[in-house]
């Protein structure tokens, strides 16, 4: 039985494709975008969230429950030794306030389908369906392919939100099972792309060209990150490029927001102090894409 590692299932989603949808978030991503609002999606392994604000002073339940003595308490509070932590989840189970939480759980295709099927009535009434996001869902291609096949057998509309950084063989494997690709583009400058995401954008752009040739329905999604990719020059180059891709008529501009800040704190990771883009900037970029003939939506 195929199993995958997910970190969330979002019900009644309205920004991840048409209609009311169930969005399944798979763990693992080949990119390391510093602005990612789901930092828990990047690792392919289970991780431990620790919310210090929920932690009770002088409580030692998690320390007693940890079988590997990976947790201690000092004057600064709870400290977790990641080298000793085997992610058993015993600490989270013992925590009375939910300050500790294991992010990532294994789920079988059958178990996931049971969750998806609960919302079938909403899909039918709104022309919605299920969206597979992440992370990068194509990193778990065996699991993704299996669930997509089950969805298609029940005539459930399917969408895959992808960063495009994968072998095109993975796209070919699922082409006939996906109704809509939500394809993320960050920036056209390769050096900046490497600096900001950790990888080149050449594979991403080449895969988008090939995907366009397959005549699939594609919606482009572009995060707008101040001082990274919010220049008019980048918008012009991006619009000119995607204008050559068959099947693309819609562009979603996704302004950076700070909703993921607490997640970085819970994972003990740093994030740059940056503010969301100004509304005037978004309108200027929107106009550029509209001038190239695209139907532009703000916020996905």
Question: Of the candidates 69, 85, 103, which is a domain's last residue?
Answer: 103
In angstroms, rounded to a whole number, what is the distance separating the alpha carbons of residues 226 and 203? 24
Both 243 and 214 in one domain: the answer is yes
At residue 75, the pLDDT reads 82
**Cis bond upstream, residue 135 (ω within 30):** yes
In total, how many domains does the chain have?
2
At residue 269, the pLDDT reads 76
In angstroms, rounded to a whole number, what is the distance separating the alpha carbons of residues 8 and 25? 5
Both 156 and 97 in one domain: the answer is no
At residue 162, the pLDDT reads 98
At residue 268, the pLDDT reads 72
Q: Which residue has the tokens 């008529």?
A: 249
At residue 1, the pLDDT reads 57
Q: What is the CATH number of the domain that holds 77?
A: 3.30.70.20
Both 236 and 110 in one domain: the answer is yes
**178-197 residues labelled b (16+ CB within 10 A) or e (exposed):** bbbbbbbbbbbbeeebeebb
Query: Any idea what the Cα angle at residue 161 is, between residues 157 and 165, rounded to 5°?
Result: 135
Both 70 and 164 in one domain: the answer is no
At residue 132, the pLDDT reads 98
Q: Cα torsion for 220, 197, 238, 298, to the nearest 10°?
A: 50
Both 91 and 110 in one domain: the answer is no
Both 128 and 208 in one domain: the answer is yes
Both 73 and 202 in one domain: the answer is no
At residue 261, the pLDDT reads 74
Both 68 and 153 in one domain: the answer is no
Both 158 and 268 in one domain: the answer is yes
Both 272 and 253 in one domain: the answer is yes
At residue 253, the pLDDT reads 97
Both 259 and 181 in one domain: the answer is yes
Each residue's pLDDT expressed in tens, for the chain with a length of 300 residues: 589 999 999 999 999 999 999 999 999 999 999 888 888 999 999 998 888 889 998 899 999 999 999 999 888 888 889 889 999 999 999 999 999 999 999 999 999 999 999 999 999 999 999 999 999 999 999 999 999 999 999 999 999 999 999 999 999 999 999 999 999 999 999 999 999 999 999 999 999 999 999 989 999 999 999 999 999 999 999 999 999 998 898 999 999 987 777 777 777 777 777 888 999 999 999 999 999 999 999 987
Q: Which residues contact 292 (CB under 8 A, 6 or more apart)?
A: 239, 240, 243
* Spatial CA neighbour of 26 closest among 119, 185, 146, 154: 146
In angstroms, rounded to a whole number, what is the distance separating the alpha carbons of residues 247 and 229? 24
Both 87 and 183 in one domain: the answer is no
Q: What are phi and psi of 110, to 5 degrees?
A: -65, -40
At residue 293, the pLDDT reads 95
| Strand pairing report for 21-26 and 77-80 | unpaired
In the numeric block, which tokens belong to residue 46?
């289970």
Q: How far is CA 8 from CA 15, 22, 26, 76, in A?
A: 16, 10, 8, 30
Q: What is the CATH number of the domain that holds 215?
A: 3.20.20.70
Q: Which domain holds residue 56?
A: 50-103
Q: Check: CB of residue 29 under 8 Å from CB of residue 164.
A: no
């Amino acid at each position: 039985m195929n199993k995958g590692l997910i970190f969330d299932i979002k019900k009644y989603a309205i920004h991840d494709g048409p209609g009311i949808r169930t969005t399944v978030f798979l763990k693992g991503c080949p990119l390391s975008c510093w602005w990612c609002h789901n930092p828990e999606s990047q690792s392919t392994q289970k991780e431990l969230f620790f919310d210090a604000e929920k932690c009770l002073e002088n409580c030692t339940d998690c320390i007693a429950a940890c079988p590997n003595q990976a947790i201690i308490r000092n004057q600064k509070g709870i400290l977790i030794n990641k080298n000793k932590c085997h992610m058993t989840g015993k600490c989270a189970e013992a925590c009375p306030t939910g300050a500790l939480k294991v992010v990532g759980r294994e789920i079988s295709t059958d178990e996931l389908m049971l969750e998806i099927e609960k919302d079938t009535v909403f899909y039918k009434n709104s022309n919605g369906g299920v969206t597979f996001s992440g992370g990068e869902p194509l990193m778990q291609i065996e699991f993704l392919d299996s669930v997509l096949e089950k969805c298609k057998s029940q005539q459930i509309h399917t969408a895959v939100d992808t960063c495009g950084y994968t072998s095109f063989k993975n796209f070919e494997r699922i082409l006939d099972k996906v109704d809509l690709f939500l394809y993320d583009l960050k920036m056209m400058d390769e050096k900046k792309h490497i600096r900001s995401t950790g990888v080149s954008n050449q594979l991403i752009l080449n895969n988008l060209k090939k995907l366009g040739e397959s005549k699939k329905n594609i919606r482009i999604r572009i995060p707008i990150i101040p001082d990274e990719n919010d220049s008019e020059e980048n918008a012009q180059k991006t619009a000119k490029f995607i204008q050559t891709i068959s099947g693309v008529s819609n562009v979603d501009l996704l302004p950076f927001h700070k909703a993921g800040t607490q997640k970085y704190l819970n994972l003990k990771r740093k994030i740059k102090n940056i503010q969301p883009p100004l509304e005037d900037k978004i309108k200027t970029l929107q106009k550029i894409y509209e001038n190239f003939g695209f139907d532009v939506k703000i916020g996905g």
